[in-house]
Structures are given as structure tokens and as C-alpha cells.
Amino acid sequence: MTILVDHDTKVICQGMTGRAGTHYTSVMLAYGTRVVGGVRPGKGGSFHLNLPVFDSVASSMAETGANASMVFVPPANAAASMIEAIEAGIPLVVALTERVPLRDMIRVRDALRQGSTVLVGPNSQGVLAPGVCKIGVMATGDAQRGHIGILSRSASLTSEATAQLSAVGLGQSTTVGIGGDAIHGLSMRTCFEMFLADPDTHGVIVIGEIGGTDEEELADFIAAAKPKIPVVALVVGRHAPPERRMGHAGAIAGSTDGSAESKIRVLRDAGVIIAESPHLVGQRMREALAVPA
């Protein structure tokens, strides 16, 4: 099994006719993802990449049976596109757009409370079930079907963890990039609970960053739930200066909280295995599962 996506996932792309949307939709089609159409207001009735284009998410769902949307809309209009998809009732929205204004994401968060849509992102690399479905921008060359879930705030480190796991013979059930922005949809805790409910996931890699409280909330849940599968965590940003935004994501640690060291401490106290460096992620999971070298 997988989480969030499966062989029955039918994807539309909001912003498919743009340059990025065109490129990544083509890549997803080549991977075997069931992309069934795109949404671009004013271009309804046309075709792009031999797929129908619709004026709205609601009309695309009615015509194609789409149950997932990928958002490739520029930052200024990305929130409106997410809200449109949420109000249309589509079960899954994966938002790849970076630099969505925080004030706009407050409106998106309010919309999520009114419906049942699961939002992954924004600023996400996407969701990948190797050999099953890819929604996003991640590379797939190192991905292999298997039993390890990856839950991450970092796109590049997700690719690194995927490569390391595959190198030691551990394939992945699903990889999920929840996004690095301060306000986002799916939380680490909720995603982790999805992995726990999946009988095909036998271990979970958690990749965290400075800022926010996702890692602390996950640690509290793990301490209480005491999962029977191994959890390996990597938290980056130990040398980041406090109260300074790092890179393009929402990674920023306060002077007294949100630091990498504090996150590592609470995760370790909860029983999580800590990978001290990015190059040790695959090795720590292999050791935890007692897989021969």
C-alpha cells in the first residue's frame, strides 16, 4: 500500500499551460502518473499535451473524475488556486509553488478547516510512491519500491535519503514533502500517523529543519504512541544563526526555540534514532531494521 496516492489517483494540474507546469506534467506522464487534464481560466475547451484544459477545478472533476490536483500557479495567485480546489472538494492538493505570501496562506488554512481536502505544501517537492504515482518535481532515478516512508521538509535531502535507502537495499513506500514554509497544510504528525496506518510501511525517515513546531509536535506523538516501527530523524540547521531566515524556505529559529538542537533533543527523548549527519540516514535505518550490509 501507499499513503495519499495510489494507482487510482487521477491528477489535474492547475497552471499546466505554463512553462513549469508543461515540463513537469510531461515528466509525470512519462513516469506513468494518470494526469487527466489541466486548469487554466479562459482556456477551457482547449487541449495541451493532448490533455483537456478546463476553466475550473470543479468542471475538471466533473468531466474527468480527478481526485488530486497539482498546483503550479505563480505565488501571487497560488493561494486562490488552492482555495478553489479546496472549495471544489478535491481530496488531495499538492502545491509546488514557492514564496506564497504568508497572509495568503492564512486564508488557505481557514479554507482547509471548512472542508476535507488534504493539502501538501506549498513549497513542496511533492508526493512519490515509486512505480505507482508521482505528483511533483522530485527526481526518480534512485527511487525503488519498498517499505520505508520518508517525511520531509527539505526537497534536496529527500532525494539524498531516497538514494541512500535504495543503495542499502531499502525501497520506499511513499515519500512526502510537506513543504518548508511556516504555514503549510499536512503536518509532520498527521503524515506520520498515515504512515503508521499503512501496513506496507515498516520504517519512517523524518527530515526536519529549524523553525516551527512540527518536529516537537511529532516527538510528543511518538512519545505517547510508542510506534513499533523504527523512526530515524535528521534535523538540519545546527549552525544556523537565530532569528535569520535561511534560504528560500520558511526556516528560521527563534533565539530560544525552534533550533535544530532543541528539535533533536525532543526527538531523541521520544525514542527516535538520530542521524547525526545527512550521509548516515540510510545506514541508521538499515541498522535499526537489522538488514545485513
Q: Give 101's contacts (C-beta < 8 A, 6+ positions apart).
A: 75, 76, 79
Residue 94: other Cβ atoms inside 10 A: 29
Amino acid at the residue 276: E
User: Exposure of 20 by Cβ count < 10 A (0-12 exposed, 13-18 middle, 19+ buried)?
Assistant: middle
Point out the residues that are catalytic.
248
Instruction: Give every CB contact of residue 64 below 8 A, 6+ residues apart in sequence.
Output: 10, 12, 36, 37, 52
Beta bridge partners, 94, equal: 70, 120
Q: Are 277 and 267 in contact (CB under 8 A)?
A: no
* CA-derived radius of gyration, the chain: 19
Contact 248, 124 (CB under 8 A): no
113 burial type by CB count under 10 A (0-12 exposed, 13-18 middle, 19+ buried):
exposed
In whole angstroms, give the CA distance from residue 72 to residue 95.
7
